[in-house]
Chains A and B, each alone.
Chain A
Amino acid sequence: DAMVIQNPRYQVTQFGKPVTLSCSQTLNHNVMYWYQQKSSQAPKLLFHYYDKDFNNEADTPDNFQSRRPNTSFCFLDIRSPGLGDAAMYLCATSRDRRGDGTHEQYFGPGTRLTVT
């Protein structure tokens, strides 16, 4: 089945130690997103890639970066994790034209990040 895969499902890192979360998709969607979700709150968009074009949200901290080496993979890098970065990180994909978001986003299972 086509899907969005996230690895690892659980990640523990130390305060200030860089960490990378990965996402892959078999849907062949052109847009990939990274969300942060804390406790039972709504997911908060960090950034998205439209094809290879990176789009950062204005309130996303500089501590968060992303790479998309090809259509199928996308990475979230947290350069110096703080305690406040502990959260669920969700990857999502969609098949959309630029500026015309009519299609649904499909989410992966998430990576639960713990910062010690």
Chain B
Amino acid sequence: EDQVTQSPEALRLQEGESSSLNCSYTVSGLRGLFWYRQDPGKGPDFLFTLYSAGEEKEKERLKATLTKKESFLHITAPKPEDAATYRCAVRPSGRLKLSFGAGTTVTVRA
């Protein structure tokens, strides 16, 4: 059975304090690992897709990396507007269903 575990559950950062979020996964035949940002009361916003170990994607202050067992979302010099819940999800081979992690809620103090 597919498993996705995100850590930590919550992350409190000072503005400018860089950090990383972890997404560990067990899946039969990874077809893609996806990162989303979700603000309270809204739907998830797509951030990145990673397909193979060693792949990296960047967008503004966010950088996502992938190994064979986990993915990291690095937040560089966060600003208060980076506060959100970040969710990773995996898609196994042969299925369209996403398996989501529980998410990491990031707060950023100015």
A interface residue count range (under 10 / 10 to 19 / 20 to 34 / 35 or more): 20 to 34
Asked if A40 contacts B103 (CB within 8 A), the reply is yes
Q: Does A108 have its Cβ within 8 Å of any Cβ on chain B?
A: yes
Are A42 and B96 neighbours in the complex by a CB distance under 8 Å?
Answer: no
Whether A77 is near chain B, meaning CB under 8 Å from some CB there, is: no
The total of interchain contacts (Cβ-Cβ below 8 angstroms) comes to 67
Does B77 make an interface contact (CB < 8 A)?
A: no
Given A42-B87, A101-B91, A104-B32, residue A110 in contact with residue B96 (CB < 8 A): no
Which listed residue (B43, B46, B95, B100) contacts A42, Cβ 8 A?
B100
Q: Is B107 part of the binding interface, using a Cβ–Cβ cutoff of 8 Å?
A: no
Residue A100 lies at the interface, judged by CB distance under 8 Å to chain B: yes
**In the assembly, what is the distance between CA of A112 and CA of B42, in Å?**
9
Q: Let me know if B96 and A50 touch, CB within 8 A.
A: yes
Question: In the assembled complex, which residues on chain B have CB atoms less than 8 Å from the CB atom of A31?
Answer: 96
* Beta-carbon nearest neighbor of B94 in chain A: A99
Instruction: A48 to B32: give the CA distance in the assembly, Å.
Output: 18
* Contacting pair A109 B91 (CB below 8 A): no
What's the least CB distance linking B34 to chain A, in Å?
6
Interface contact A101-B43, CB-CB below 8 Å: no
Question: In the assembly, what is the distance between CA of A108 and CA of B6, in Å?
Answer: 23
> Measuring CB to CB, which residues of chain B are less than 8 angstroms from any residue of chain A?
31-32, 34, 36, 41-46, 49, 51, 85, 87, 91, 94-98, 100-103, 105
What 3 pairs across the A-B complex have the smallest Cβ distances?
A107-B43, A42-B100, A101-B96
